[in-house]
Amino acid sequence: MTTIDVKVLDPRMADQLPAYATPGSAGLDLRACLDQPLELAPGQAALIPTGLAVHIGDPGLAAMLLPRSGLGHKHGIVLGNLVGLIDSDYQGPLMVSCWNRGSAAFTVQPMERIAQMVIVPVVQAAFRRVESFEASDRGTGGFGSTGRG
């Protein structure tokens, strides 16, 4: 198990550090540290604090923020940036852009679980400039070049 430093920015999160809900969970639920309910009109997005800061510290790791499937599918509550990427050297407050992509208003309740965070491995690459690539089977074909279905 990898250990990541976390700061509690909102005292309500002191006994709710990120934790896997089941032994096989990939995601860690993040909560909306709001003082009052926040209504999101259809199409509206809001940046919501999670009450936490994390410092991943290892350039070989990052965190990705993803929607919770129930909120996204049933209520249209996804992320305004579609996916949040947390750099390993970021030390600021962990924020969630909550976007109501649905057609009905949705009220986010204080401390409700609004998104999930996945810790993922990252490969940092160096780029070597070349004039031509070694031939590959695909070559330059893309964007449907192999057919639709």
Ligand X SMILES: O=c1ccn([C@H]2C[C@H](O)[C@@H](COP(=O)(O)OP(=O)(O)OP(=O)(O)O)O2)c(=O)[nH]1
**By CB under 6 A, residue 10 contacts ligand X:** no
Q: Is 68 annotated as a binding residue?
A: yes
Distance CA 122, CA 58 (A): 9
**By CB under 6 A, residue 94 contacts ligand X:** yes
Pick from 6, 58, 81, 111 the residue near ligand X by CB under 6 A: 81
* Span near ligand X by CB under 6 A; candidates 4-12, 88-96, 104-112, 118-126: 88-96
**Cβ distance to ligand X smaller for residue 28 or 95:** 95
Distance CA 33, CA 10 (A): 7
**Cβ distance to ligand X smaller for residue 65 or 78:** 65
Q: Is 66 annotated as a binding residue?
A: no
Among residues 38, 41, 57, 59, which one has the least CA distance to residue 49?
38
Pick from 52, 54, 65, 114 the residue near ligand X by CB under 6 A: 65
Pick from 21, 85, 104, 105 the residue near ligand X by CB under 6 A: 85
Residue nearest to ligand X (CB): 84
Site string for ligand X, 96-125 (x = CB under 6 A): -x----------------------------
Q: Is 114 annotated as a binding residue?
A: no
Assign 3-class secondary structure to the chain: CCCCEEEECCHHHCCCCCCECCCCCCCEEEECCCCCCEEECCCCEEEEEEEEEEECCCCCEEEEEEECHHHHHHHCEEECCCCEEECCCCCCEEEEEEEECCCCCEEECCCCEEEEEEEEECCCCCCCCCCCCCCCCCCCCCCCCCCCC
**By CB under 6 A, residue 87 contacts ligand X:** yes
**By CB under 6 A, residue 32 contacts ligand X:** no
